Amino acid sequence: MFGRWFKRGGSNTQADGAPAGGGHLIDLRDIVKTYQSAAGSFTALKGVSLAVDAGEFVAVIGKSGSGKSTLINMVTGIDRPTSGEVIVGGTPVHRLSEGQMSVWRGRHLGIIFQFFQLLPSLTVVENVMLPMDFCNMYKPGERRERAMMLLDQVEMVDQAHKLPSAISGGQQQRVAIARALANDPPILIADEPTGNLDSKTAVAVFKLFDDLVKAGKTIVMVTHDNDLARRASRSVIVSDGEIVNQYLARALPRLSLDQLITVTRQLDRLTYEPGQPIVRQGGRADYFYIVTRGKVEVILDQPGGGELIAEVLGEGQYFGELGLLGDTERRATVRAAHDNGTVEVVALDQNEFNTLLAESEATRLDVTRVAEQRLAASAA
């Protein structure tokens, strides 16, 4: 099942069919995490969904205590959801037993922590060999050479025989990154990896991550450093156990952070089977929609009785604005495309939509412009 993650091993790309999770490499769905303690229960994640595709470099940002570590601990299986699903590379991580989990994690994820967590009694090179030994990856005779090669990549080969206590924090983090790469995992998960480093060293470590993404890795990195986050390919904002809906942020990028969080809470999630209509031409306009999974077809009924597919919209694109702006009936039918599996959308009702446009002039202008373009196209 995991063969397709590794370049070696050849041609098993679709041998198991398409991975679960709609093709996303990491797919967290409706995750609720409630901690129970003597003081009562505390819900650290309130039904969050997050999809990460192969090759992305995602920065997870948010205030201390907002739930960032809890969120990425779902991906690594360090912690389990109270409810919801965690699909990584097609594997339902939340259903693995502890034993399966540690083997799976060792082979498919590289994990990097704020405090490096190297074993103090082992040398640098022995620390890097450890995951290969643990997961029995690579021939025993090849492991040291591979570890040295990885240390070379992070410019630590000349420190290979020192103990962790004999090198600086920045150097320890480089070693921890080499260790995370030991089994050539497709995904690296890092929780505040630069949190314990001075800013110059932090930039150097970030550069290393950037190079790894260019070399084909997928990285999810929690950081409190907004300057570094901006240099990732995408930021995910966690606020009080919720994350800003990434499709909303993509569709309406000019909303403020507070508006994004408010609207995220207002969104209704709806699913449609292939071919199923979402809105019908001539029907009353009552919701604004953003596609969050799959594709939808915008269809204009033709005078002769046929239909014309005017547009196909994908993830992060919206529809339904035309009828709402004009407070009129639907001008087109929109249905789930036939060939892309279940379609998911989020919907905002008319009142919430109008309030939002009244509060964000930039968004109102953007949405109006799109509506005018669509109107012109459908009239042509």
From ligand ADP, Mg ion, none, which one binds at residue 37 (CB under 5 to 8 Å depending on kind)? ligand ADP
Give the shortest CB-227-to-ligand ADP separation in angstroms. 18
Residue 316: exposed, middle, or buried by beta-carbon count in 10 A (0-12, 13-18, 19+)?
A: middle
Of 150 and 232, the one with the shorter C-beta distance to ligand ADP is: 232
Q: Cα separations (Å) of 244 from 64, 247, 283?
A: 16, 9, 30
Q: Cα separations (Å) of 33 from 20, 59, 195, 213?
A: 22, 21, 24, 29
Contacting range for Mg ion; rule: CB under 5 A; set: 52-60, 61-69, 138-146, 347-355? 61-69
Q: Which helix (H) or strand (E) holds 361?
A: helix 361-379
Within 8 A by CB and 6+ apart from 147, the residues are 125, 126, 128, 129, 132, 160, 178, 182
Q: Cα separations (Å) of 21 from 50, 120, 142, 162, 370?
A: 11, 39, 35, 43, 31
The reply on whether position 2 binds ligand ADP by CB under 6 A is no
Give the shortest CB-97-to-Mg ion separation in angstroms. 26
Site size for ligand ADP, by CB under 6 A? 12
Of 202 and 222, the one with the shorter C-beta distance to ligand ADP is: 222
Cα angle 183, 79, 89; round to 5: 45
From Mg ion, ligand ADP, none, which one binds at residue 363 (CB under 5 to 8 Å depending on kind)? none
Give the shortest CB-223-to-Mg ion separation in angstroms. 10
Among 49, 66, 69, 171, binds Mg ion (CB under 5 A): 69
Interface of this chain with ligand ADP, residues 40 to 99, rule: CB under 6 A: 42, 44, 62, 64-70
User: What DSSP string describes 273-323?
Assistant: -TT-EEE-TTSBP-EEEEEEES-EEEEEE-TTS-EEEEEEE-TT-EE-HHH
Distance CA 108, CA 185 (A): 5
Contacting range for ligand ADP; rule: CB under 6 A; set: 34-42, 229-237, 355-363, 372-380? 34-42
From ligand ADP, Mg ion, none, which one binds at residue 235 (CB under 5 to 8 Å depending on kind)? none
List the one residue out of 42, 58, 62 whose CA is nearest residue 50. Answer: 58
Contacting range for ligand ADP; rule: CB under 6 A; set: 37-45, 161-169, 291-299, 316-324? 37-45
**Strand ranges in the chain using DSSP code E only, listed in sequence order:** 26-37, 40-52, 57-61, 83-88, 91-92, 109-112, 187-191, 218-222, 234-239, 242-243, 268-272, 277-279, 287-293, 296-301, 307-313, 318-319, 333-336, 343-349
Of 93 and 150, the one with the shorter C-beta distance to ligand ADP is: 93
Give the shortest CB-23-to-Mg ion separation in angstroms. 29
From Mg ion, ligand ADP, none, which one binds at residue 22 (CB under 5 to 8 Å depending on kind)? none
Of 66 and 91, the one with the shorter C-beta distance to ligand ADP is: 66
Of 73 and 246, the one with the shorter C-beta distance to Mg ion is: 73
The reply on whether position 37 binds ligand ADP by CB under 6 A is yes
Give the shortest CB-192-to-ligand ADP separation in angstroms. 8
Q: What track of x and - describes contact with Mg ion for positions 17 through 56 (by CB under 5 A)?
A: ----------------------------------------
Of 65 and 326, the one with the shorter C-beta distance to Mg ion is: 65
Residue 52 and residue 58 in contact, taking contact as beta carbons nearer than 8 Å = yes
Chain residues that interact with Mg ion, rule: CB under 5 A? 69
Chain residues that interact with ligand ADP, rule: CB under 6 A? 35, 37, 42, 44, 62, 64-70
